[in-house]
């Protein structure tokens, strides 16, 4: 019997975890597959670990990976994928916005021979206007800047990956991990299953607009050097403008004579060029900072402890 691993990163999900487990097991128990549920605690500050330990005690299929601190969702997801032992893996959020009832549809596509099955949201009506607009802008911008890596629009981490696709994904150990981009980068034969995304079952989202902005920068700088190219193009354009403007001043002076110096023009030009230079120093700094973190080659995460139900020689739980 083939086994499917369900990977659930968690940060302060104590309130929703029992309901998530109930709905998840109601779905997977009806499928003719073995299942493994990998729960990853990403430094939660509530009772997430205690609630997860109850599930470990109740169900031998549950593995709890307790990270040493909060490393962020992308790293927590990577830790869960590292621990997954199934023939396929399904990452999903604990808040039930990734509905477990969609898992049979993902598995069906896998049975048809697809190695990556994406779960695509039909609409984002549950999101604010600002969030929908910013997401649309990001997807369009990413497609233009990232070259051959194209992220499917309105597809999050919720998907199914075959073991071959998963092993390819895990071979990339970069520290600045933009998982949506990495999922798309590995390729393989892909299919899409559409669904209506429900509202969050409990708790509050961990993302705010500032985190989403940084997340977008992470994605663009991880998969594109276009911002660096822009600095080159802008530098050439500025030099060309300065050269042409110099010719204009020379011809005007020869033909008309010296006029009153344009002090405001000089101030505006110096301020503009100074701002452009500082902006692109920031861009260079973003890339250099990422290079700095990569060359240190530190481990992506540390595991404080793993919890899994075991049995002794008499078959009793320990």
pLDDT digits (tens), the chain, 318 positions: 788 999 999 988 888 888 989 888 989 888 889 899 999 998 888 888 888 898 988 888 889 999 988 888 888 988 999 998 888 999 988 888 888 888 898 988 988 889 989 888 887 665 566 666 666 666 666 666 666 667 777 787 888 999 998 998 888 888 877 788 788 888 888 888 888 876 655 555 555 555 666 666 666 666 666 666 677 777 767 767 766 776 776 676 666 666 556 655 675 667 667 767 777 777 777 777 777 777 777 888 898 898 887 755 555 555
Give the torsion through C-alpha atoms of 277, 236, 286, 132, to 10 deg. 100
- The third-level CATH classification (topology) of the domain covering 3-134+151-207+300-308 is Spore Coat Polysaccharide Biosynthesis Protein SpsA; Chain A (3.90.550)
Domain chopping of the chain, boundaries: 3-134+151-207+300-308, 226-296
Cβ contacts of residue 310 below 8 Å, gap of 6+? 317, 318
HSE-CB for 41 with a 13 A CA cutoff: 27
pTM: 0.69
CA-CA distance, 254 to 98, in Å (whole number)?
72
């Amino acid at each position: 019997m083939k086994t499917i691993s369900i990977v659930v990163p968690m940060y302060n999900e104590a309130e929703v975890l029992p309901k998530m487990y109930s709905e998840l097991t109601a779905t997977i128990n009806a499928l003719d597959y073995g299942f493994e549920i990998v729960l990853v605690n990403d430094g939660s500050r509530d009772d997430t670990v205690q609630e997860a330990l109850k599930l470990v005690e109740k169900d031998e299929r549950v593995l709890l990976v307790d990270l040493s601190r909060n490393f962020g969702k992308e790293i927590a997801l990577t830790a869960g994928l590292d621990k997954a032992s199934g023939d396929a893996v399904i990452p999903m959020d604990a808040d039930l916005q990734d509905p477990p009832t969609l898992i049979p549809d993902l598995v069906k596509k896998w049975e048809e021979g697809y190695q990556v099955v994406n779960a695509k949201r039909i609409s984002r009506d549950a999101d604010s206007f600002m969030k929908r607009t910013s997401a649309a802008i990001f997807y369009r911008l990413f497609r233009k800047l990232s070259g051959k890596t194209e992220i499917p629009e309105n597809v999050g981490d919720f998907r199914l990956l075959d073991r071959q696709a998963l092993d390819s994904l895990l071979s990339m150990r970069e520290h600045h991990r933009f998982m949506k981009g990495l999922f798309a980068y590995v390729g393989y034969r892909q299919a899409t299953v559409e669904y209506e995304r429900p509202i969050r079952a409990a708790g509050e989202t961990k993302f705010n607009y500032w985190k989403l902005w940084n997340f977008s920068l992470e994605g663009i700088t991880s998969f594109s050097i276009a911002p660096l190219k822009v600095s080159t193009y802008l530098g050439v354009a500025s030099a060309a403008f300065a050269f042409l403007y110099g010719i204009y001043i020379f011809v005007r002076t020869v033909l008309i004579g010296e006029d009153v110096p344009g002090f405001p023009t000089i101030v505006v030009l110096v301020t503009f060029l100074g701002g452009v230079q500082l902006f692109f120093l920031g861009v260079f700094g973003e890339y250099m900072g990422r290079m700095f973190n990569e060359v240190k080659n530190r481990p992506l995460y540390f595991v404080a402890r793993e919890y899994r139900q075991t049995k002794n020689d008499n078959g009793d739980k320990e």
